[in-house]
Amino acid sequence: MKEHNLKILIATTLKVLTMLSLFCCTNVAITTTNNLNPLILIPGNGGNQLEAKLTTQYKPSTLICDPWYPPFKKKNGWFRLWFDTTVLLAPFTRCFASRMTLYYDKQLDDFFNAPGVLTRVPRFGSTYSLLYLDPSLKVVTDYMAPLVESLEQLGYIDGENLFGAPYDFRYGLAAPGHPSRVGSKFLNDLKILIEEASNSNGGKPVILVSHSLGGLYVLELLNRNPSSWRKKFVKHFIALSAPWGGTVDEMFTFASGNSLGVPLVNPLIVRNEQRSSESNLWLLPNPKMFDAEKPLVTTPNRNYSAHDMVDFLKDIGYPEGVYPYETRILPLIAKIEAPEVDITCIVGEGVRTPEELFYRNGDFDEPPEFLYGDGDGTVNMVSLLALEKLWKDEKNQSLKVIKIEGVSHTSILKDKVALDEIIGEISRINSNVQLGLSNVSFAISDAK
């Protein structure tokens, strides 16, 4: 009898210790490969490799951009367009920019590649093209490699219960009633990947982990599918650094071009290419989230808020962007629906982030002066935390927000504190411990 009671006591103690580890210790979780929900990574803008192939329709912008460049291609003519180190050299920067440029066809109401340029993402379904943007330069072009390594330590295996969803990040989505061939195909491919990942893992629902722009795509996917599908196939959605309301930094990109920190690159050479990106239009500050009275760009002639985007596009010399912005983007971002899927937003804070641009002489070819505010260095706090405000009255939407002090937009994928938070959250989700709370927003500030 005493032995029986002792066994009960030991079993009860183990259960209590397990529960305490789940609730009290962020980075402690008891998981095995068998109880892991399948997980899919969705990268951000520029967060996966992109390949191109030139056809006979291709007309080089300069002699140096002749189809022979780059000289080293695969046997079938495909080569890595993003990221290619030759972009650092000005003549080749122009080749890169012309091949990356999209064109909006008003008659067809959609965006297309430059004539003669075919593009594709390598190995959809695998994390391969998300790890490094240039596998030959792993140290300087690593992207999701640290996160994937942490997931592997948890028991995830690429192609078995861990998957990647790379996409052509230049393209975006459009409001209902407008074609969006490339973006819509990606949503469909992602939907099929979710279903296959679930079916191949015993019917377990999937955990979706996105970074930056990938979060906007995932939210659209969830809201464009019925509730029954979401409940069956999606366990949880973790959004890292999601720019729900766009960024002021995107206005800088449109106005002056953005070298994105790549050394030696003249931002004016890539500006037209960046303006042509459909996804960049999607990332302009959302007038529903940014104060109408708050100037984001200031010049001697006038100020521009998020509500003045049409005039802004005209005045910077990009009037061709006005029509697709007004007809395709504004209706798309007018309302952000709650998908009634459990969501965790993990964001950085306390990093100097462009909040207002000052063009003292009104010349957009010259870099502006910056007024900085709070955010993750790229995305403003009002955008990172937008869902808290938008969904505060949603009774059936579970939303958790984790804020990490001093973590930037991209370092969230590498920083040890951030990785511990991400892996800890994934472990808790896999543990199936439910707090039974809905319509509640948690915030963990100054995580260290």
Positions marked active-site: 212, 376, 409
Q: Which helix (H) or strand (E) holds 339?
A: none
d(CA 326, CA 209): 30
What is the pairing mode between strands 50-54 and 443-444?
unpaired
CA 258 to chain centroid, in Å, comes to: 18
Decide: 88 and 153 in contact? Cβ < 8 Å.
no
Paired with 16 in beta bridges are: none
Which of 166, 163, 171, 209 has its CA nearest to residue 80? Answer: 166
Decide: 166 and 185 in contact? Cβ < 8 Å.
no
What is the identity of the amino acid at 199?
N
d(CA 212, CA 315): 28
Which of 314, 343, 341, 339 has its CA nearest to residue 326? Answer: 314
Q: If phi over 0 gives left and psi between -120 and 50 gives alpha, with beta otherwise, what is residue 377? A: left
d(CA 192, CA 135): 28
Q: Which helix (H) or strand (E) holds 404?
A: strand 399-405
SS3 179: coil
Residues 6 or more apart whose Cβ sits within 8 Å of residue 359? 255, 297, 298, 299, 300, 366, 368
Q: Give first-to-last CA distance, the chain, whole Å.
A: 48
- The DSSP line for 182-206 is HHHHHHHHHHHHHHHHHHTTTTPPE
d(CA 48, CA 166): 6
d(CA 224, CA 247): 24
Work out the number of other CB atoms within 10 angstroms of the CB of residue 447.
18
d(CA 22, CA 306): 43
